[in-house]
Structure 1
Amino acid sequence: MSNVETEPAQMRCGPEGGGERPEGWRIDVLTPRDVPLGGPRAMTVRRTLPQRARSLIGAWCFADHYGPDDVARTGGMDVAPHPHTGLQTVSWLFSGEIEHRDSLGSHAFVRPGELNLMTGGHGISHSEVSTPGTTTLHGVQLWVALPDAHRHAPRDFQHHAPAPVRTDGAEIRVFLGSLAGDTSPVRTFTPLLGAEIVLDPGASLTLTVDPAFEHGLLVDRGDVRLAGTLLHPAELGYAPPGAQTLTLLNESDGPARTVLLGGPPFEEEIIMWWNFICRSHDEVVQAREDWMKGTRFGEVHGYDGAPLPAPELPNIPLKPRGNAR
């Protein structure tokens, strides 16, 4: 998914710190902001990462949560070809279907319960369009920052349909990393955790987790307590490193659906602007210029329409923005 804001936030991100569980360990609640995907009938997404309070959870640096969206009313998703560099995109749906095309030549469909992971590396472009048979579109779009040693990695595309794991009143689909005895085969460049967790009504689930990881729990449906802190739909609860277990409690009368993200604190500073993750202002300028000139990112074949133009850069050099550390 592209960041379609005409004045995208300038954000420099860095290490959050790690190590032993700190004194006063607690869950921080991150609330989303609404971002329209363009046009008066645009589908609106709820963005919880990045924001002023926190820009990264592990290497997870971007989280858009959307739907359930009535495609007949909004027109659904139609994101024209756009570039990415220095990151991986993670697409995960709860309902509906999205057609993906990229400059690697991949032509795939994103379906509920199936992971599509695209590696941008030095540069890739892709388009995303909800299919004609989709009536309700609902899911998350996530980005992962690539570490410096791998940020110019070759373009790549991976697909994985994890089998559900049933345990303690919950159904878990592990799409990245390891959890509840299941491990995803999908390749990443830093240790990561990504899993959909559906809790039965009133269910309590205690998960063994890596204490070196920080975690984020995004609630899609229901009211869920994470380590005692109540989270409502669209909120993301942040847990710092140090915990060996995390307990989720569904306080709803119906099933609750969540997405659990995790990873060790990312120990590098990055600059995020539009669809680029770079290390300096000059790199952002070069990436924008390469996209506008039609070089580096390749072509997307099969999309009916023109590529997205890059927003204008600010008149001053990109500068750091604060983060809770």
Structure 2
Amino acid sequence: MNLRRKVINIYTPPAQPGFLGVGHLASPVIQVDFTESDPFIVLMDDRLNKQDGQPVGGPHPHAGFETVSLLLEGEMGDEAHRLKGGDLQLMTAGSGIIHSEIIDRNASMRLLQLWLNLPKKDRWAEPRVQDLPLEKVPTLIQNGVTIRVYSGSLAGLKSPIQNYAPLIIADIQLESGATTIQQLPASYTAFLYVIDGSIRVGDEANKVQQDQVGWLNRSSDAVLSDLKLAGGEAGGRVILYAGEPQGDAIVSHGPFIADTQEDIRRLYQAYRQGTLKHIATVPASQRILY
């Protein structure tokens, strides 16, 4: 019999003033230690309501991990990497890149940006960027349930996104009273982030409400597990994140993830010396638009 997933930790991440200044609220979704969240390092829910044309943001480096950006509302990026509501971008920083996120106009947007650990053997992979627009996201609509699979496989759907660390990201919308049971590997670290309404999870029907996070139990067994979800009184929309733990300790400092402090020093030196390339300059073979 499959492991039955249930909620073991529910909380509401605090909304804090963001680094972009007035009109920026940022909620750090992951509030548990990395030993519990592996392979997920950081997930920020950024809400921006910018009412002026003053430029904010700018170029900054990353290395040693991947950013997974799911834009829920609005638009962001430059002409080469323009994201619209419902689009996903996965950027493999790997060996090190410079990335620019500049907003120079009035803007209203909501972005979920995940820092995803790379397996140790792929820590310094060649940088690449993958863009998956909403219209290309595999989608299932059935019995009051809509499932969009942005990464990995779920509900008989498979995303085209290429992963180093096995990763499932799905946007699941349930009408009031609608239910679904989905299977995912029992060993995957998994959590739910409710972005609208409420849902009930598992046989226990534990309620997770809007802006709340629900962490799920897991097992070390290499078997499948069942995740049962039901829409709340007014329905609900939830983002599911599930990934295979890598089991390796990491060193985190500023914009870099590494295996040792010496790696961190080397990365800062490379950044200061200007040897990190901009993500816009990666070869065409490493810029993938689905």
Structure 2 length-normalised TM: 0.83
Cα separation, partners in 2 of 1:301 and 1:187, compared to 1, 3 Å: closer
- Could you give the per-residue CA deviations for residues 267-304 of structure 1, whole angstroms, max 9, x where no partner exists? 11112222111112222222223223322x224779xx
2:210 matches 1:238: no
Shift of 1:150: 0.6
Q: Which of 72, 80, 84 is 1:94 aligned to?
A: 72
Structure with higher strand content: 2
Asked if 1:250 corresponds to 2:222, the answer is no
Counterpart residue type for residue 17 of structure 2:
P
Please give the residue correspondences for 1:1-325 in structure 2 after superposition, counting only pairs within 5 Å. 26-38=7-19, 40-49=21-30, 51-54=31-34, 57-67=37-47, 69-72=48-51, 78-100=56-78, 107-130=80-103, 132=105, 134=107, 136-161=108-133, 162-227=137-202, 228-242=205-219, 244-253=225-234, 255-295=235-275, 297-299=276-278
Q: Which has the higher contact order (CA 8 A, sep 6+)?
A: 1
Q: Any idea what SS the aligned residue of 1:121 has?
A: coil
* Segments of 4+ moved more than 4 angstroms: 52-56, 130-134
Q: Quick one: distance in 1 between partners of 2:279 and 2:120?
A: 26
- Which amino acid in the other structure matches residue 147 of structure 2? I
| SS of residue in 1 equivalent to 2:77 | strand
Gap change, CA 1:166 and 1:133, over 3 Å in 2: farther
- 1-side partners of 2:171 and 2:104: how far apart? 23
CA RMSD of aligned residues (A): 2.8
Whether the 8 Å contact between 1:99 and 1:131 is mirrored in structure 2 is no
The corresponding residue for 2:285 is none
Secondary structure of 1:113's counterpart equals coil
In 1, the alpha carbon distance for the partners of 2:113 and 2:186 equals 26
C-alpha distance in 1, partners of 2:7/2:106?
A: 44
CA change 1:122–1:100 in 2 (3 A) is farther
CA deviation string 1:160-211 (max 9, x = no partner): 2303211332111111000011001111112110111112133222212222
| Cα distance change, pair 56–120 in 1 and its aligned pair in 2 (3 A) | farther
Q: What is the alpha-carbon distance in structure 2 between the residues aligned to residue 171 and residue 77 of structure 1?
A: 37
User: After superposition, what is the alpha-carbon deviation per residue over 1:88-139, rounded to whole angstroms, capped at 9, x for unaligned?
Assistant: 11111121001158xxxxx2111122221111011011112347474x3123
Aligned residues: 271
SS in 2 for 1:287: helix
CA pair 76-160 structure 1, distance change in 2 beyond 3 A: farther
CA contact (8 A) 1:97 1:131 kept: no
Q: Which runs of 5+ in 2 are unaligned?
A: 282-290
| Shift of residue 30, structure 1, vs aligned partner | 4.0
C-alpha displacement of 1:240: 2.5
After alignment, is 235-244 or 110-119 more displaced? 235-244
| 53-62 or 204-213: bigger deviation | 53-62
Instruction: Deviation per CA, 1:230-265: give whole Å up to 9, x if none.
Output: 212222111132472111222232x42211010222
Structure 1 residue 56: Cα displacement: 5.3
CA gap of 1:300–1:214, structure 2 versus 1, over 3 A, is closer
Alpha-carbon distance in 2 for matches of 1:260, 1:197: 7
Structure 1 unaligned blocks of 5 or more: 1-19, 102-106, 303-325
Q: 1:158 to 1:258 in 2, by over 3 A?
A: same
**2:245 aligns to what SS in structure 1?**
coil
> For residues 234 and 273 of structure 1, do their structure 2 counterparts lie closer, same or farther at Cα, with a shift above 3 Å needed?
farther
C-alpha distance 130-222 of structure 1, shift in aligned 2 (>3 A): farther
Contact kept in structure 2, 1:100 and 1:126, CA below 8 Å: no
